[in-house]
């Protein structure tokens, strides 16, 4: 098990499969209660002729992302890679080609890490029903079966995924089986010794995976273990949805800044259309996220927590440090045009607003609300911050002491 991992990254999550043809949801089979023959017949129509993995990879790279996590198999059991253990796969569609192989080539060409997502619920395999788990709604059988047969199938496919597609950065299991089988992750580590594995598989793995709702980390300033949070550009679906309700940029940037300032990685998901292209709104959101992320100059990666008690006012901030500088991440913005720091280790040499890259004005002074009958401590008063110029962004202040 890896224990030396201490860097964190922004990544692109991609949910793509035959469900894109429904334009509804990645779990359309279950949520629309579709007939099995009709749903699985979508494979005969799946022909993503406009799929260009280089465009995906460059979209991610230009946004400052370091890796792409791809759904090799989702709950429906359809494999987006060429597996020798099933006929229900991408190479048996009109497209015929292995989309994961093409993506792996593009990632390697442009220096982007590749991760794979693998669902443990499988609504196609006859032995996959697991009464200990969730998301079993469309399991082929709803009765006890020989689950060990399915576990061998999983091992065989994981062997393919970790052998045929080059170096794999992380393995993202989905839906905890609530069954401990240590040799599954052991197999993954044997095949890819440097791989990092999440906590949704057959044991606790290397990192935790909070999804969508980050209130579970309220009050914390740093994750206690390696963490990779994930969210989608859309509110309703991870896969392609024709009438999606998109998250606001304000919401996404706040989430990304908070999670990464706490030392976590962050996967931001898009669901490509049936033809293999990413819709305009999703692409625009990724580009806007990248515009903010890139101007921070890497201060959300490889940081250390700053334990100094600064007594910050005018907004909630996560504070960390890197290369001798301190960074104040006001992930929900500031409530006025100033930041008040009541305690500080020394006088600042320089104060800078990373949103603009420009220096900020500051003084060590007593402020009216801190005075009572002439008594009060001086604070570090950083003022005239142009917060209204960045209504959709967290405010990030850099101080060199």
CATH number at residue 286: 3.20.20.80
Of 295, 322, 356, which one is at a domain's C-terminal end?
A: 295
Query: 207 and 91, same structural domain?
Result: yes
> Residue 14: beta bridge partners?
70, 270
Residue 2 falls within a domain, yes or no? no
Question: Is-above-0.85 flag for pTM?
Answer: yes
Expressed as residue numbers, the domain containing 387 is 304-400
pLDDT average per 10 residues of sequence, the chain (401 residues): 68 98 98 98 98 98 98 98 98 98 98 98 98 97 92 98 98 98 98 97 96 66 92 98 98 96 96 98 98 97 94 93 97 96 95 98 90 75 98 98 96
Give the residue from 295, 319, 340 where a domain finishes. 295
How far out from the chain centre does Cα 382 lie?
Answer: 33
Q: Could you tell me which of 31, 18, 50 has the C-alpha nearest to residue 279?
A: 50
The per-residue pLDDT for 375 is 58
Per the CB < 8 A criterion, the answer to whether 16 and 80 are in contact is yes
172 and 115 in contact (C-beta within 8 Å)?
yes
pLDDT of residue 214: 62
Instruction: Enter the tokens of residue 176.
Output: 């905890």
- Domain shared by 145 and 206, yes or no: yes
For residue 44 the two structure tokens come to 């005969």
Q: CA 39, CA 37: separation in Å to the nearest integer?
A: 6
Kindly state whether residues 340 and 238 are assigned to the same domain.
no
**Total structural domains in the chain?**
2
Dist. CA 10–CA 301, nearest whole Å: 9
pLDDT for the residue numbered 3: 47
- pLDDT for the residue 371: 74
CB 63 within 8 A of CB 111: no
End-to-end CA distance of the chain: 38
Is there a single domain that holds both residue 46 and residue 79? yes
Task: Indicate the residue among 247, 268, 295 that finishes a domain.
Answer: 295
Q: Has residue 276 been placed in a domain?
A: yes
What is residue 370's predicted lDDT score, i.e. its pLDDT? 73
195 domain-assigned: yes
Hey, how many other C-beta atoms are within 10 angstroms of the C-beta on 171? 28
């Amino acid at each position: 098990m890896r224990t030396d991992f201490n860097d964190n990254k922004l990544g692109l999550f991609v949910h793509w499969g035959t469900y894109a043809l429904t334009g509804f949801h990645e779990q359309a089979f279950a949520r629309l209660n579709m007939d099995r023959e009709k749903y699985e017949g979508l494979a005969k129509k799946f022909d993503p002729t406009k799929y260009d993995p280089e465009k995906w990879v460059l979209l991610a790279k230009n946004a400052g992302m370091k890796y792409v996590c791809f759904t090799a198999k989702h709950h429906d059991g359809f494999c987006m890679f060429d597996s020798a253990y099933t006929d229900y796969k991408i190479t048996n569609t009109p497209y015929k080609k292995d989309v994961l192989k093409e993506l792996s080539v593009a990632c390697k060409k442009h220096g982007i890490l590749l991760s794979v997502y693998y669902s443990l619920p499988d609504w196609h395999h006859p032995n996959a029903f697991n009464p200990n788990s969730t998301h079993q709604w469309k399991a082929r059988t709803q009765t006890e079966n020989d689950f060990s047969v399915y576990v061998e199938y999983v091992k065989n496919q994981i062997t393919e995924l970790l052998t045929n597609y080059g170096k794999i950065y992380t393995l993202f299991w989905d839906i905890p089986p609530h069954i401990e089988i240590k040799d599954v992750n052991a197999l993954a580590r044997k095949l890819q010794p440097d791989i990092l594995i999440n906590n949704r598989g057959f044991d606790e793995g290397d990192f935790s995976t909070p999804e969508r709702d980050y209130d579970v980390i309220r009050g914390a300033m740093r994750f206690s273990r390696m963490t990779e949070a994930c969210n989608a550009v859309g509110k309703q679906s991870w896969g392609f949805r024709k009438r999606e309700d998109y998250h606001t940029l304000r919401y996404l940037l706040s989430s990304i800044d908070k999670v990464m300032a706490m030392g976590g990685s962050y996967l931001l998901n898009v669901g490509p259309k049936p033809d293999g292209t990413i819709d305009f709104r999703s692409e625009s959101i990724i580009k806007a996220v990248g515009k903010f992320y890139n101007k921070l100059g890497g201060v959300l990666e490889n940081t250390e927590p700053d334990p100094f008690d600064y007594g910050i006012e005018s907004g909630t901030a996560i504070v960390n440090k890197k290369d001798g500088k301190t960074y104040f991440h006001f992930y929900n913005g500031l409530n006025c045009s100033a930041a008040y720091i009541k305690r500080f280790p020394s006088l600042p040499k320089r104060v800078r607003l990373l949103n603009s890259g420009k220096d900020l004005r500051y003084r060590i002074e007593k402020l009216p609300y801190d005075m009572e009958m002439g008594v009060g401590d001086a604070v570090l008063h950083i003022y005239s911050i142009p917060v209204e110029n960045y209504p959709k962004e967290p405010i990030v202040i850099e101080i060199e002491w």
